[in-house]
Amino acid sequence: MQIQTPFRTDAADTSRLELTGIGVRFGGIVALDDVSLQVPAGSVVGIMGPNGAGKTTLFNVICGFIRPGDGSMSFDGRPFAPVPQRLSARGVSRTLQGLGLFAGLTALDNVTAGASGRHRSPFAAGLLGLPFAARSNRQAVGEASALLDEFGIGSYAHALPPALPYPVAKKVALARALISDPTLILLDEPAGGLDQADIDDLRELIRALPQRADSVVSVMLVEHNVDLIMSVCDHIAVLDFGRVISQGTPDEIKADPVVAQAYLGDREAS
């Protein structure tokens, strides 16, 4: 089957993130091979694939943790060579497969720590009591509190992560990623460890992300939960052995026999 042309949206007509011919090799192992895809502005784009397909490697390339040996990236139409410590300043935020919360900080402080991004003084400066950071830190605390209330977990604001129910901790991690006002947010297996009721709640949160702020927000989602990714994504790219084997709308992905063979499995045979 011929791979479809990388997708675009008529509404936005622009790509927030564009990857062209990305290749990554670890010695003799090919992790990514000629990966090209686009994340249109204001869209939710899913990345699917079996274990070892290259999904996490792709996220690490976008975040600057891995330098590709081949290919190029652009962000809002400009060349993009990400530096992990400056991702937030470029408008990129990411959640992790694990929670990644600071165990010694309350839920509120964990979210506030994410505000060391583009338009605020660093959280560390506030902790040190530097005068220029005081007003900015107060603003960040207010915004963090509002996010926790928006997610329905304001009552946990002063709890430490070890005391948080797992679904609540997941929302804290998402709130921390959102407080820096990203224009691109990368969600790495956000449904992991959640029951169906929490996944339904997560589905609503993800679909609402592109409309959160004045700026147009794009979402890139790596997820093993097929029902979730099919229900929230505008477009999906499927990886297998580091290559894009299919991409298109959820309906197109469902109907693609190549995807059924590589990822969904042959239900008839099973």
Domain end position, chosen among 181, 212, 235: 181
Question: Number of helices (H) and strands (E), helices first, in the chain?
Answer: 9, 10
Same domain membership, residue 198 and residue 150:
no
Same domain membership, residue 77 and residue 17:
yes
pLDDT computed for residue 198 by the predictor: 92
pLDDT computed for residue 11 by the predictor: 41
pLDDT computed for residue 6 by the predictor: 39
pLDDT computed for residue 181 by the predictor: 86
Q: How far apart are CA 138 and CA 143, in angstroms?
A: 9
Q: Are 97 and 51 in contact (CB under 8 A)?
A: no
3-27 tens-digit pLDDT: 433 333 344 457 789 999 999 999 8
Domain end position, chosen among 181, 206, 226: 181
Same domain membership, residue 212 and residue 140:
no
Q: How far apart are CA 141 and CA 158, in angstroms?
A: 12
List alpha helices for 151-259, DSSP H: 166-178, 196-208, 226-232, 250-255, 257-259
Q: What is the DSSP letter of 103?
A: T
Same domain membership, residue 68 and residue 133:
no
Least confident of 185-194, 195-204, 205-214: 205-214
Same domain membership, residue 152 and residue 268:
no
Same domain membership, residue 122 and residue 252:
no
Q: How far apart are CA 223 and CA 190, in angstroms?
A: 7
Domains: count for the chain: 2
Domain end position, chosen among 147, 181, 215: 181
Q: pTM for this structure?
A: 0.82
Same domain membership, residue 102 and residue 76:
no
Instruction: Assign residue 236 the CATH number of its domain.
Output: 3.40.50.300
Same domain membership, residue 202 and residue 172:
no
C-alpha dihedral sign at 108, 44, 41, 60: positive
Among 265, 262, 269, 266, which residue's Cα sits nearest to residue 52?
262
Same domain membership, residue 108 and residue 67:
no
77-110 tens-digit pLDDT: 899 998 888 888 888 999 887 788 899 999 999 9
Same domain membership, residue 138 and residue 101:
yes
Same domain membership, residue 52 and residue 9:
yes
**Can you give the residue range of the structural domain that contains 176?**
97-181
Same domain membership, residue 80 and residue 200:
yes
